[in-house]
Amino acid sequence: MKTRHLQHLYFRAGFGLDYKAIQQLKKQSKKEIVAKLFEASKKVEPLSLDLSEFESYFNSDYKKPSTVEEKAEQRKLQKLGREKTIEFNAAWINRLTTSEAVLAEKMTLFWANVFVCRDNSVYHMQQYNNMLRRFALGNFGDFVKVMARQASMSKYLNNRQNVKASPNENFARELMELFTLGVGNYTEADIKASARAFTGWSFKRDGSFFLRKRHHDFGEKTFFGQTGNFDGDAIIDIILQQKQCARFICDKIYRYFVNPEPDTIHIEALTNQFYKNYNIKDLMLYLFNSDWFYDEKNIGSKIKSPMELLVGIQKTVPITFQKKKQLLYIQRVMGQVLLYPPNVAGWKGDRNWIDSNTLMLRLKLPAILLNNAVINIDEKGELEDDFEAYYASKNNKQRFIKTTKHWEVFEKEYHDVSQKDIRQTLIIAKIDPDTEALLSRLKFEDQRNYCIQLMSIPEYQLC
Amino acid sequence: MKRRDFIKQSTLASSLFFVPNFISAFQKVNKATLGHKKLVVIQLAGGNDGLNTIIPYTNDIYYQNRPEISLSKPDLIKVTDNLGFHKNLGPLKNLFDKGYLSVINNVGYPNPNRSHFRSTDIWQTASASDEFLTSGWLGRYVEEYIKKPYGGIEIDDSLSLILKGKNLNGIATKDPAILNRNMQTPYFKKVLDTQSDAHLSEHNLGYLYQTMIEAQSSSKYIYETSKTFKSKQEYPNDPFSKQLKTTAEFINSHLSTSVYYVAMGGFDTHAGQANKQGKLLDVYANAMDAFVKDLEANDTFKDTLILTFSEFGRRLKQNAAQGTDHGAANNVFLIGKNLKTPGFYNEVPDLMNLDSNGDLKYTVDFRSIYATILDKWLAVNDETILNKSFSKMHLV
């Protein structure tokens, strides 16, 4: 396989490939390499923190706190929950950086921005996150049905409040608008009917699903021209019958994995494949084995998400953040905090990551993380903060991001690699001729310094 | 220094301006620097309790629903027979008396959302409640009509959705010197100094270079222009006042920026509201007082319109923690010298006719206010910015 194509595959299916792996893999054929990629993602480990402190809360004999002590205990637990959420965020990023199952993890990240959800309960959020991981390359229909039963989703889109006496349409609407069909591909009557089908869908404290029969509407509904005593699963099955559902997902797949500029012919090809069986793995196999995926116009065409940027840097030079809060801060000022999507529509991606402020920060990020460059940006206050907290410059005094840099990993990989080869490994986009001329004029004695400078040019922002 | 002179001088002074297209783009900015209309948008972030800001002090329903946090006559400044200002809004009352303030009651939108994040997005993007837009209304204005990042400035370190366009965004800074220093690092300068504009049209790479060039030139322009003016007005010592002081320095140095956005935090008063909100309104009113005086002293008040909104109002009925929960419709303030309808623009909130959550119903769509400002104040086509036609109001 051509080196450039191999790199392209791994930039999209993962977070890039280091030099030695490229040398090893490039002797093999495309088919072999793609097969290997999927083989490595066959076994996916759930991402689990120790949440045993919360078990008592999820036991069936749990009682609402009434005494002063119990209330204090509950507050302690809430505080712990917030800390654990930060820990989970860091653990997820670490997983993205170190996992061998690169494709499964990249897909998990992708689905987290399709079935967008946010929940303050780390216990339920961990379940949700592992649900995404479990189905990332599975069957889409099963995926949607399990997603619709998650405690976190039920809370996020108010399906818990969706009862026969007074249906709440929030979940039903977003299911079609943002998760499966896209705006304009259903009627208001379809929303009303499907909201009724999801009435009474609820969850127990431990996050497991249960149907509150009293609140479920067992009556007849008409949905997409079909009439029956549909429940939520039946509604999802009818949605899957619409080819638009396959098209909607394939459009997202295309923009995320191939090119932010859609190509209707290639999206239709993906759609035809996906509509056969809604098998996500088959779809991705088809995509990565297609010739057009490797078209020159697709290579280096995508602006990295903050996560792709952050993980990409760490793949080359591993970093340990000494303070997890600083890792969170970096995500915040770049505009992508894992587990905290801005709204149910998710992050917009590509050019939406970029404005004057974020671009200069992103260009400076390698120097901030690897070269102790100062960072002069205060993060925004939260909308729930009081006046003092809102303006407390949370990292104001911490102009340095304290990291431990594992340069030895980089040295081991690159000490005998030419600067030209380092450049071709780290940067996939065609380098602007003027910048290229500049790079060749500047002399870099030191591989580390060269690496940081390469990561600081605009081309590194692309993958 | 006239703007044109500034451009000439900085062209000589800065290698950034080697990009030929760039210079011409700079000069194409059609607004005259002096006297162009400016809009300052202030968000009271967290959801200000409008009912304890402008108090319906003759309404029994108000007192019945708020046994612990309602404001009685000693705690307010009577303005009309049925409405009074919170007692800490004295400076705002002065603006009101001078005819510099319009209060628009019952502003909101259909199917109100009670999440801070979502409702903030709705207000900032000017979307409908069930519509997800990726750009803000001020951002679209800057992109469409100013075409340079410095056309819209947020006084903060990172940019909010309100100032994001589709392919061009505003810029955020609360300290132009730091912004400029961040943008003018030696390495980026080297990269940009060698840039000719030959390849800037390429897709995303061209976009990145373009954004980088504009970021550098905008930050330099903001820094070098704004440093020519230092405010002589005394401001209270708090972070919000500081943001407004910076805004005044931008305006009074005749920066060719058209729209500014400032968020003041702290309004999410679920518990112990009385003290908290009292303090916040005090900070707000005194900051506005200093800001308006500063603009007046420099003869820029006549060209500046100040819009204050909050992502939602709060529930009529107080909660058990002497606070209020997220509500719906709310009042909006418009401050300026030549208002068409100074005073109370419309009817008082109808506390008898609440929605199913017990919240105020809207009678004025916030996008009608935006449309009016775009059309009458900034003199642009409001429909291209708002993607829809909204009825205009008699505001400016």
Question: Is residue B186 in a domain?
Answer: no
User: Which whole-number Å values give the CA distances from A358 to A83, A161, B290, in the listed order?
Assistant: 27, 39, 32
Per-residue tokens: B112: 């109100």
For A179-190, what is each residue's pLDDT tens digit? 999 988 999 999
pLDDT at residue A92 tops 90: yes
B333 - beta bridge partners? B103, B308
The closest alpha carbon to B214, from A334, A431, A458, belongs to A458
Alpha carbon A279 to chain centroid, angstroms? 20
pLDDT (average), residues A224-247: 98
pLDDT at residue A74 tops 90: no
A333 → chain B, closest CA residue: B158
Of B118, B130, B164, the CB nearest to A355: B164
Domain that holds residue B282: 38-180+235-386
Whole-angstrom distance, CA of residue B61 vs CA of residue B316:
9
pLDDT of B19: 35
In a 3-state reduction of DSSP, which class is residue B237? coil
Whole-angstrom distance, CA of residue B135 vs CA of residue B119:
14
- What's the start-to-end Cα distance of chain B, in Å? 31
Decide if B116 and A383 are in contact by the 8 Å CB cutoff.
Answer: yes
Question: Is residue B208 in a domain?
Answer: no
Phi, then psi, of A188 in degrees rounded to 5? -65, -35
Decide if A351 and B172 are in contact by the 8 Å CB cutoff.
Answer: no
Domain count, chain B: 1
Of A354, A387, A430, the CB nearest to B208: A354
pLDDT of A288: 98
Q: Which are the contacts of A158, defined by CB distance < 8 A and separation ≥ 6?
A: A168, A170, A171
> B187 and A456 in contact (C-beta within 8 Å)?
yes
For A276-305, what is each residue's pLDDT tens digit? 999 999 999 999 999 999 999 999 999 999
A386 → chain B, closest CA residue: B266
> Which residue do the tokens 């230092």 mark?
B230
In a 3-state reduction of DSSP, which class is residue B43? strand
Per-residue tokens: B32: 């005259």
pLDDT at residue A210 tops 80: yes
Question: Is residue B391 in a domain?
Answer: no
In a 3-state reduction of DSSP, which class is residue B304? strand
ipTM: 0.91
pLDDT at residue A176 tops 60: yes
Angle at CA of residue B166, ends B164 and B167, nearest 5°: 100
pLDDT (average), residues A182-210: 95
User: Which whole-number Å values give the CA distances from B247 to A306, B159, B236, B252, B297, in the listed order?
Assistant: 30, 15, 15, 9, 15
Whole-angstrom distance, CA of residue A87 vs CA of residue A143:
26
Q: How far is B141 from chain A (nearest CA, A)?
A: 16
Question: Is residue B161 in a domain?
Answer: yes
The full DSSP string for A107-141 is HHHHHHTTS----S-HHHHHHHHHHHHHHTTSBHH
> A97 and A16 in contact (C-beta within 8 Å)?
no
Q: Which are the contacts of B70, defined by CB distance < 8 A and separation ≥ 6?
A: B52, B55, B62, B63
Grouped pLDDT means (10 residues each) for chain B, 396 residues = 38 34 38 74 97 97 97 95 97 97 98 92 96 95 95 95 95 94 80 70 85 92 94 95 97 96 95 95 98 97 98 95 95 97 97 95 98 97 96 97
pLDDT of B17: 34
> Which residue do the tokens 């704004």 mark?
B226
Angle at CA of residue B89, ends B99 and B76, nearest 5°: 105
CATH of the domain at B247: 3.40.720.10
Of A356, A376, A389, the CB nearest to B169: A356
Q: What is the DSSP letter of A351?
A: G
pLDDT (average), residues A65-77: 85
Whole-angstrom distance, CA of residue A314 vs CA of residue A93:
10
Pairing of strands B171-172, B54-55: unpaired
pLDDT of A37: 97
Whole-angstrom distance, CA of residue A232 vs CA of residue A195:
8
pLDDT (average), residues A373-388: 83
pLDDT of A343: 86
Residue B178, chain A, CB below 8 Å: the answer is: yes
- Of all residues in chain B, the percent with pLDDT exceeding 90 is 81
The closest alpha carbon to B135, from B113, B156, B111, B162, belongs to B162
> A112 and A68 in contact (C-beta within 8 Å)?
no
Q: Which are the contacts of A169, defined by CB distance < 8 A and separation ≥ 6?
A: A162, A191, A192, A195
Residue B272, chain A, CB below 8 Å: the answer is: no
> For residue A38, what is the enclosing H or E element?
helix A30-40
pLDDT of B29: 39
Per-residue tokens: B129: 């409640």
Per-residue tokens: B157: 């370190």
pLDDT of B201: 61
CB contacts of A437 in chain B (<8 Å) are 194
pLDDT of A444: 81
Residue B306, chain A, CB below 8 Å: the answer is: no
Question: Is residue B365 in a domain?
Answer: yes
pLDDT of B394: 97
The closest alpha carbon to B311, from B122, B73, B52, belongs to B122
> How many CB atoms are closer than 10 A to CB A402?
11
Q: Which are the contacts of A1, defined by CB distance < 8 A and separation ≥ 6?
A: A25, A26, A28, A29, A30, A33
Per-residue tokens: A398: 């911490």
CB contacts of B198 in chain A (<8 Å) are 433
pLDDT of B277: 97
pTM for the model: 0.88
Decide if B265 and A352 are in contact by the 8 Å CB cutoff.
Answer: no
> How many CB atoms are closer than 10 A to CB A209?
14
Whole-angstrom distance, CA of residue A369 vs CA of residue A356:
20
pLDDT of B195: 73
Per-residue tokens: B10: 């900085």
- Most B CBs within 10 A among A344, A350, A355, hence the mutation to make, goes to A355
pLDDT at residue A157 tops 90: yes
* Portion 238-267 of B in contact with A at CB < 8 A: 239-240, 263, 265-266
- Of all residues in chain A, the percent with pLDDT exceeding 70 is 98
Of B134, B190, B218, the CB nearest to A352: B134
Confidence grade of residue A380 (pLDDT, cut at 50, 70, 90): confident
A391 → chain B, closest CA residue: B239
* Portion 182-211 of B in contact with A at CB < 8 A: 182-183, 185, 187-188, 190-191, 194-196, 198-199, 203-205, 207-209, 211
Question: Is residue B297 in a domain?
Answer: yes
> A367 and A456 in contact (C-beta within 8 Å)?
yes
pLDDT of A395: 46
Whole-angstrom distance, CA of residue B120 vs CA of residue B131:
13
Q: How far is B291 from chain A (nearest CA, A)?
A: 19
For A306-360, what is each residue's pLDDT tens digit? 999 999 999 999 999 998 889 999 999 999 999 999 889 999 999 999 999 999 9
pLDDT of B202: 66
Question: Is residue B193 in a domain?
Answer: no
pLDDT (average), residues A122-145: 98
Per-residue tokens: B71: 């404001």
Decide if A387 and B276 are in contact by the 8 Å CB cutoff.
Answer: yes
